[in-house]
Amino acid sequence: MNNIKKVISYIFIYGFFRTLYKVFGRMRNIPKVFKFTNKRSTNKLSVGFIGCGQFSFATMSYFMRFSNKFYFEFAYDIDQAAMNSFCEFNNVAKKLETAELINSHFVDIVYIASNHHSHSEYAISALKRGISVYIEKPISVNWEQFYSLGKVISEEHADVYVGYNRPFSSAITELKSHINENSGPFSLSCFVVGHFLGPEHWYRKPEEGTRVCGNLGHWLDLSIHLLYKRSCPAYLDLTISYSNTEQSDDDITVVMTSDLHDLISLTLTSRSEPFEGINESITFHQAGLIADIQDFRRAVFWKGSDKYTKRYYPKDVGHKLAILQPITGVKRNLEEIRLSTALMLEITDMVRSLQTNKRFVIGDQKYKWN
């Protein structure tokens, strides 16, 4: 009964076809009528997929298929069953048996949505062959990966696209239209109800970078993106409050203040599984502007005495425009990604050591790629 209620709820949130893909991604047993024709064409980008899990199946391939601008050349996943069902549904002819075979297949772009610890390694391998990459978040989960990937990005000429999607959402795009370099300090609050993750979940593996890399990085990246839209401060003072030091990356609040008097508060809570998936409440205040974004389905904006409301159906978290970066010409600034990743890794280190205070100096040489 709960599954039926969830499907009905998702239709009202995401629309019928997107919900259908989400269901197919869970079932992995799909009627033939829905399967992709996947026709090669000179005006399409050839794509290789690394990682065939739920996100690749129900989100990446969904938006790529309906854009009609991509040809799916090959796929690889360490989970043979996941790869087989992904390839069958999307009519992908080449299923790679080992990761090494990726280097023997040239495509225009590789979409990487494997486990977090593997993102940097796969991206480096493709970039060294001159193949563009789309790296689902995070791009790195430790400092060694951060520097190694940054070195290759600096040296190679292939394009790099990154899957932090909130800046591509309609609500954040509307918010940014009111921000400029003279807007002054702002206050940002993000209250996020995340998925409940048991101790056996793969996010919990030490090499995967904790939930800071797996989840909180989204809102750290959004914070840096909005700071860049105004002007970046010289430093951020970081404070972390832990509700449970035994599980230090869950149910936490990160507060950041800057030398420009910005105030940013990010809370990630996951005490039970949210029925409709991740839920986000975002409030922004700067001078005469107030914005209240509710789960990327509705936003209210006050500009002085003027007030207006925007509604988003289907729910728009920015996945579509993030995934379609290679064909839209709209691409995230890699300097933002470099900085937000460095911030994420510093906070990851703090969480692992239960540190509560630290100063993050924006221009520190430690965070440079070259």
Which CATH class for the 2-162 domain?
alpha beta
pLDDT of residue 283: 98
> What are the phi and psi torsion angles at 206 (to 5°)?
-55, -35
Distance CA 110, CA 119 (A): 11
Distance CA 281, CA 316 (A): 14
pLDDT of residue 258: 98
pLDDT of residue 1: 56
- Characterise 13 by phi-psi region: left (phi > 0), alpha (psi -120 to 50), beta (else): alpha
DSSP for 20-47 reads: HHHHHHHH----GGG-------TTSEEE
Distance CA 23, CA 181 (A): 44
| Cα torsion through 226, 250, 320, 15, rounded to 10 | -130
User: What is the CATH number that goes with domain 166-367?
Assistant: 3.30.360.10
Among 176, 56, 181, 160, which Cα is nearest to 109's? 160
Q: Where are the domains of the chain?
A: 2-162, 166-367
Distance CA 150, CA 187 (A): 31
Distance CA 285, CA 265 (A): 12
Instruction: Indicate if 166-367 has the same CATH topology as 2-162.
Output: no
Residue 269 is encoded by which pair of tokens? Answer: 């809570």
pLDDT of residue 99: 74
- Is the whole-model pTM more than 0.75? yes
Amino acid letter at 92? V
What stretches in the chain show pLDDT beneath 50? none
